[in-house]
Amino acid sequence: MPTEVRIVEVGARDGLQNEKVEIGTADKIALIDRLSATGLRSIEATAFVSPKWVPQMADAAEVLAGITRRPGVAYPVLVPNLQGYERARAAGATEVAVFTAASEAFNLKNTNATVEQSLERFRPVLERAHEDGVRVRGYVSTVLGCPYQGVVALADVVRVSRTLHAMGCYEISLGDTIGVGTPAKARAMLAAVATEVPMPALAVHFHDTYGQALANVLACLEEGVAVVDAAVSGAGGCPYAKGASGNVASEDVVYMLHGLGIRTGIDLDALAATGRWLAALLGRETGSKAGKALAA
């Protein structure tokens, strides 16, 4: 198991993008600034995608301009194509992320493109980012199952991950988008990808639909992964997956990691307080078990 784990906090983007409650720009900025103060080193700030499809991210440029950037903290933003990349750069982005799926059916529904077409769409982004000295992270979704085609072949997960890494993505985040994975499957998937992409370049991203996310994270830690995506208060979900609940809660992951003696550099109490603050904005209780317990 690693001695230190980096949490990639995705609450401000993946957590909020599908929320029905409209979150104001000032509150998004406040969320990111609060997260920055907890010791997190990677905070995904927003997404430069079409406001028509993701209205919650329409203020991406304003959010990125408004946050207080702390030294040593990365603020990656999601971009779907070169146009999105150029908008992100104009707004001051210094790190970006691209996204595709291991499932053809999911990719067609989600982005109206085949997996191969989506990868080709990223080539100019990676080329431009390399010229600009901008780091690019790659997301591969539906690595353990798809709401449309069901089982996703491990070979497809490996192929897409290998391609993104070869194109220049410094890190590949492996996402169980609909939260159907179990520990043995999660471990086998990670091990398969690690035969083609070095383990230090891999991250895991689990949703908690069936209550398996923490167990899946633990199984992958035992396999050697040292980067975990999570969302404060367990925010998020997948609009294309029936019943898919939010991301694994950052507070719960940090509580588990600290209990294992693994360093994160994160102030758990401050993180849990931020999770409760966000939940109140969204008009509900925090989705984090640790967040609830620490408030008692």
What's the order of all strands across the beta sheet hosting 46-47? 42-43, 6-9, 227-230, 202-206, 171-176, 135-141, 95-101, 77-78, 46-47
Residues 173-189, mean pLDDT to the nearest whole number? 96
Within 10 A of 72 (CB to CB), how many other CB atoms are there?
Answer: 9
SS3 category, 222 = helix
Within 10 A of 156 (CB to CB), how many other CB atoms are there?
Answer: 17
- Whether 125 and 131 have beta carbons less than 8 Å apart is answered as no
Q: State which H helix or E strand residue 104 sits in.
A: helix 104-111
Question: Which domains does the chain show, CATH number per domain?
Answer: 6-295 (3.20.20.70)
Task: Count the alpha carbons within 13 Å of 225 in the hemisphere toward its beta carbon.
Answer: 30
What are the residues facing 42 on neighbouring strands? 8, 74
Q: What beta strand segments (E) does 197-266 contain?
A: 202-206, 227-230
Give rounded-to-5 percent helix, strand, coil for the chain.
45, 15, 40
207-to-57, 67, 113, 143 alpha-carbon distances in Å: 21, 27, 24, 12
The whole-number pLDDT of residue 53 equals 85
Within 10 A of 52 (CB to CB), how many other CB atoms are there?
Answer: 7
Residues 155-171, mean pLDDT to the nearest whole number? 98
- Whether 235 and 245 have beta carbons less than 8 Å apart is answered as no
Per-residue model confidence as pLDDT tens digits over 230-273: 999 999 865 555 555 789 999 999 999 999 999 999 999 999 99
The whole-number pLDDT of residue 202 equals 98
User: Angle at Cα 143 formed by Cα 137 and Cα 147, nearest 5°?
Assistant: 120
Task: Count the alpha carbons within 13 Å of 281 in the hemisphere toward its beta carbon.
Answer: 23
Percent of the chain with pLDDT over 70: 97
Residue whose structure tokens are 């990639």: 8
Active site residues: 238
pTM of the model: 0.96
CB-based contacts of 88, cutoff 8 Å, min separation 6: 48, 60, 64, 77, 79, 96
- Whether 115 and 122 have beta carbons less than 8 Å apart is answered as no
Per-residue model confidence as pLDDT tens digits over 37-84: 999 999 999 999 998 888 999 999 999 999 999 999 999 999 999 999
Region for residue 74 given its phi and psi (left: phi exceeds 0; alpha: psi -120 to 50; beta: otherwise): beta
